[in-house]
Structures are given as C-alpha cells and as structure tokens.
A and B are shown apart, each in its own frame.
Chain A
Amino acid sequence: MLVLRDLQKQYTKFRLGYLWTLLEPLGMSIVLWFVFSVLLGARALGLQPYLLFLSLAILPWWWFTKGVAASTRVFRRAGGQLRISLLPTELWVLRVLLVSMVEFLLSLPVVLIAMLVTGTWPGPLILLFPVAIVLQFLLMYGLSLLISAGSVVIPDLARIVRIVLRALFYLSPVLYSISNIPQQLQGVAALNPLVGVLGLYRIGFWPEEIESAAGYGISLALCLVILVVGIIVFRRIEPRILKEA
C-alpha cells in the first residue's frame, strides 16, 4: 500500500517518469564503461564485455545505496505517524526497502539493453539471479534495521553511513572482478557480503569466473548474521524510537 503511494508520488513528479529509472543507471554504466574501457583501456579490469559486466553490478549497487541511505531517514520522516501507528515499527523500514527494491526491478531492462548491445547471452546459471535478489534483500533488511535504529540514537550516523557507502563502492567488485584482487587478499574480500551477492548476479554470464563455494558460503552466513543482529538490535531500541517520535 504505502509502497505504491510512494512510487506513484515519485513518478508523477517528473515528466519522463519511469524512463528515468532506466536512463540513470544506463547513463552511469556508459560513462564508467567509457572511462575504464575506452580511455584507460584497462583490459585487465573486470570481464568482457565490460558494459554488461558493469551494468550487472551497478543496478544492485544502486538499490543497495539508495535503500541504506534512505533507512537513515526513516524515522525522522515518519514524525507524528509513529505516535498513533498500531502497525509494527519494522514496517517503516520495510517500506523504504521495498520502494528501492521496486525501483531496482523496474530498472532491470537496462541489463537487457546491455545484453542486446553486446550480443552476449547468459548460461543456465542465470537461474541464480533471483537468489541474488533474495540474498541482497535479506542483507539490506538487516542493515536497514540496524542503521535506522542506530540513527535514532546517534543523529550523526547518516553522515557516517554516506562515507562508508562511498568507500564500499570501491571495496566491492562493482568496477572490477574479484579475480582482479591479489590472491592473498581474496580471502579478506570474501568478508564483504556484497562480494558474494554481486558474484551471484554475474554468475550466469561468466560461469568460469566463479568464486569459491566457500566464498559464497561466507557471504550467505554474513547476510544471515547481519539480519539476525539487525532484528535483535531493532527490538531493543524500539522503545527509544517510539519516544523520539
């Protein structure tokens, strides 16, 4: 319900409406492709075709940043509504997450465009694509719970999150592939749950470029841990959230 209204509001505001969801990531992919592939000619970076490689990671990445950034503002925006709301408080977090997720799903045709342009088609492992979406959803739900609750207690958290997200962009295999990292650091990189998630998005196109099963296992486990911790922390801070409303 709320999700639909939010989307409706957003899409009626701009003239191109839905097209922007497509144009924005598409433009971003093209710019990055141009810089890293044409200008720098960095063949070693990522996998070919680079445009497809990029767009496959940028879309989920945007969903990730938008959702997490929005979750710092959830309860400030909710204002008086929390005072009378008989709905579970988690719903406010879920709402923001779902809005960003729908946007992500709507922007998926960008991948299709990239596939057409580059003439590359996925193998059977593309079936893992929905798994990646579910996994990212769980990860983000846990994180959003943590961050939304945290930013009620610590007002400065929003800024910290912004910086961390910026750093995470370069620390995650968005622009590059996990195999670009030196061998000895790959183990450390697996501790970033996004590595596994992004890997699952790409696995359909580059099956040979699979990270070790253990890597995915670690990612999955981390996602679940974050989810559980998020739920527990949220429960504990919930009275505080209600007081501040």
Chain B
Amino acid sequence: MARQDLTRDLDAALAFESAGVRMPRRRRRRGDGRRQRLRRIAGEVRRDEVWRLRDATFTVAEGESVAIVGGKGSGREALLRLAAGTLVPDEGSVRRRLGVVPMIDVARSLVRGYTVRQNIYLVGGLLGMTPDDAGRQIESIAAFAGVESILDKYLGAAPPLVRQRLAWSITMATGSRAFAIEQTLIVGDRDFRQRCWTRVDEMRDDGVTFLLASDSPKQFRRFCDRAILLDNGHVVAQTSVPEALSMLRESRRRSSEPEPDDPDSTTDL
C-alpha cells in the first residue's frame, strides 16, 4: 500500500478536514519507565499520548506557498507529516491531489556507512525517486550540494553542513509538485542558502506548492502567500503572513512575560 493515497478529483492541492493526531509523549520522566509500563499493563494508565494536532481544517490551493507559523511544540511537524502522509490522522481526514515530499530533517536519514552516491539513491528512493531517476540526476544533485569531489567516499564524518546541503539537493531533485518543509534546521553558508532560495523561487513561479514551517519571520515574509497560525495543536488563524507573525509575537509576550526573548518559553513540552 502506497503511503500517499491521492485524490485525483480534489479541487485543491491539499485538504485537511478536522484532522487530528495523537503522538506518544516524547520526554519520559527518567527512572520510572519500567513502573510506568507496569502500570500501563495493569490498565491504570493509558498510553502516554498527547494531541499534537486537533481539528485542523484548511485547504491549500495548487501553487500556493503557505507559512506554518507557530513555536516549537505547536504541532507544526505533525501537520507537515500529515500533509506528506508519513503520519496517519487519528481523526478527520487529509486528502491530497499532489504527492507531497516531506522535507523534515532529511539529513538525519543519510547513512554514514554509505557513500555519497549510495545515499543519494537511498534518500532519493525514500522520497519517491526511482533508481533510474536518481541515477540520471546524480551528477546535478552532487553539483548542487558541492560534493562532486567526495561522491564515492563514505559520508562518514562529513560535517553537518555537508549533510544538510546534500539533503536539500536530493529533496529538490525529486521534481515533486508539492513540498512540506520543516526549515528550522537549515544552517548552511550564505551562498548555498541563496542558491536554495533561488531554486525555490523558480519552482514557485513554476506553480509548485509549498508548506513551510520555520522559525525565521524573514523567510515567511519572503516566500509565503499566506499563513496558518498554530498554537498548541490548534489552527488559531488563517491569515496574511505579517498578521500571523504579529499574533504569534503577541501571544508569546503574553505567555512569557519574564523572558520575552526566549522562544523556548512558549513550548509546552
């Protein structure tokens, strides 16, 4: 069964209908893991799950770039994974007409023990490229990432920067018509970032759909047509980018009076 079931007759690229998903809680209190499990077996505690996203309803039209605005723990990763279909909603539904490529910490999926070339095949394959596709594009992917010289060397201890660049290049090469990008982790040098954004611009002109989650207001303003504001797993507003950003700032100020500059203080984890 393919991960992404496409709905051909959908009149939008992507449609969430009161979608929600529960996720196991990440942080476990140390030390009492075993006791917790025993209690779970005994039926005292239900599995430790929290709603990461609830009752999300919105549509994304083809060719639109949508900013997913919200701090850490607001459910944006869950939203992106639902969009790409690497997560299945517990309630409601997510339908898509286009295959959505998830770009969520792709660099983590690169395998150290593989050569750069093998990694391109592997990760490209995960993202839906056929081996033929990957083989044909291998040169251009490597060139874009600036790793031609180490193409047949093991990825091994390549610096994180190189891994990030490779991940980006592979994702961009999938030739998908829609992307779900979680972008907090991109570091990269200025030059490479510039090239990435130029590429994204080209694709937007070409009518490719983007969902972008980021911590950088600058990126939102530059690339997104509109915004979806998330707070604690709920879609709070669907509005223009500047408005969503100011609402986010507003809510941050309210919830974290003592340390207004610390973005982590809004996290509920």
A-side residues, CB < 8 A to B, are 1-2, 5, 9, 79-90, 155, 235, 238-239, 242-245
The reply to whether A80 and B105 form a contact with Cβ atoms under 8 Å apart is yes
The A-B contact count (CB < 8 A) is 77
The complex places the Cα of A157 from the Cα of B57 at a distance, in Å, of: 38
Minimal beta-carbon separation of A152 from chain B (angstroms)? 11
Residue of B nearest to A8 (CB): B118
The reply to whether A242 and B102 form a contact with Cβ atoms under 8 Å apart is no
The complex places the Cα of A85 from the Cα of B105 at a distance, in Å, of: 12
B-side residues, CB < 8 A to A, are 1-4, 21-24, 37, 81, 84-88, 90, 99, 101-106, 108-109, 113-114, 118, 121-123, 125-128, 131
The reply to whether B1 and A243 form a contact with Cβ atoms under 8 Å apart is no
The complex places the Cα of A9 from the Cα of B108 at a distance, in Å, of: 20
Residue of B nearest to A87 (CB): B126
Given the interface pairs A90-B1, A235-B1, A243-B23, the reply to whether A83 lies near B86 with Cβ below 8 Å is: yes
Query: Knowing that A84-B86, A84-B127 are A-B contacts, what are 7 other residue pairs whose CB atoms are under 8 Å apart, sorted by A's residue number?
Result: A1-B122, A2-B122, A79-B108, A79-B109, A80-B109, A86-B2, A86-B99
A interface, over-half SS: helix
The reply to whether A85 and B108 form a contact with Cβ atoms under 8 Å apart is no
The complex places the Cα of A242 from the Cα of B87 at a distance, in Å, of: 6
The complex places the Cα of A82 from the Cα of B109 at a distance, in Å, of: 9
Partner of A87, one of B24, B88, B99, B125: B125
The complex places the Cα of A88 from the Cα of B88 at a distance, in Å, of: 13
Question: Which residues of A are found within 8 Å of B125, using beta-carbon distances?
Answer: 1-2, 87
Minimal beta-carbon separation of A221 from chain B (angstroms)? 25
Question: Which residues of A are found within 8 Å of B127, using beta-carbon distances?
Answer: 84-86
Given the interface pairs A5-B118, A80-B109, A81-B126, the reply to whether A88 lies near B104 with Cβ below 8 Å is: no
Residue of B nearest to A242 (CB): B87
Given the interface pairs A1-B131, A9-B113, A242-B87, the reply to whether A84 lies near B3 with Cβ below 8 Å is: no
Query: Can you spell out 22 A-B residue pairs with CB atoms less than 8 angstroms apart?
Result: A5-B118, A79-B108, A79-B109, A80-B108, A83-B86, A83-B102, A83-B105, A84-B105, A85-B3, A85-B126, A85-B127, A86-B84, A86-B86, A86-B126, A87-B3, A88-B3, A89-B3, A90-B1, A239-B88, A239-B90, A242-B81, A243-B87
The complex places the Cα of A85 from the Cα of B37 at a distance, in Å, of: 29
The reply to whether A242 and B86 form a contact with Cβ atoms under 8 Å apart is yes
Partner of B81, one of A1, A81, A83, A89: A83
Residue of B nearest to A82 (CB): B86
Residue of B nearest to A90 (CB): B1
Residue of B nearest to A156 (CB): B37
Minimal beta-carbon separation of B42 from chain A (angstroms)? 15
The complex places the Cα of A242 from the Cα of B103 at a distance, in Å, of: 16
Question: Which residues of A are found within 8 Å of B131, using beta-carbon distances?
Answer: 1
Residue of B nearest to A84 (CB): B102
Of the candidates A1, A86, A239, the one having the most CB atoms from chain B within 10 angstroms of its own CB is A86
Partner of A83, one of B22, B104, B113: B104
The reply to whether A81 and B109 form a contact with Cβ atoms under 8 Å apart is yes
The complex places the Cα of A202 from the Cα of B123 at a distance, in Å, of: 42
Question: Which residues of B are found within 8 Å of A80, using beta-carbon distances?
Answer: 105, 108-109
Question: Which residues of A are found within 8 Å of B84, using beta-carbon distances?
Answer: 84, 86
The complex places the Cα of A85 from the Cα of B174 at a distance, in Å, of: 13
Question: Which residues of B are found within 8 Å of A239, using beta-carbon distances?
Answer: 87-88, 90
The reply to whether B88 and A84 form a contact with Cβ atoms under 8 Å apart is no
The complex places the Cα of A83 from the Cα of B88 at a distance, in Å, of: 11
The reply to whether A86 and B105 form a contact with Cβ atoms under 8 Å apart is no
The complex places the Cα of A244 from the Cα of B23 at a distance, in Å, of: 8
The reply to whether B1 and A88 form a contact with Cβ atoms under 8 Å apart is yes
Question: Which residues of A are found within 8 Å of B2, using beta-carbon distances?
Answer: 86, 88
The reply to whether B85 and A5 form a contact with Cβ atoms under 8 Å apart is no
The complex places the Cα of A82 from the Cα of B125 at a distance, in Å, of: 12
Minimal beta-carbon separation of B7 from chain A (angstroms)? 16
Question: Which residues of B are found within 8 Å of A88, using beta-carbon distances?
Answer: 1-3
Question: Which residues of A are found within 8 Å of B88, using beta-carbon distances?
Answer: 238-239, 242
The reply to whether A244 and B24 form a contact with Cβ atoms under 8 Å apart is yes
Minimal beta-carbon separation of A5 from chain B (angstroms)? 6
The complex places the Cα of A55 from the Cα of B125 at a distance, in Å, of: 38
The complex places the Cα of A46 from the Cα of B129 at a distance, in Å, of: 51
Minimal beta-carbon separation of A187 from chain B (angstroms)? 36
Minimal beta-carbon separation of B10 from chain A (angstroms)? 18
Of the candidates B23, B123, B126, the one having the most CB atoms from chain A within 10 angstroms of its own CB is B126
Minimal beta-carbon separation of B32 from chain A (angstroms)? 15
Partner of A85, one of B23, B86, B99: B86
Minimal beta-carbon separation of B233 from chain A (angstroms)? 14
The complex places the Cα of A90 from the Cα of B118 at a distance, in Å, of: 22
Question: Which residues of A are found within 8 Å of B102, using beta-carbon distances?
Answer: 83-84, 86
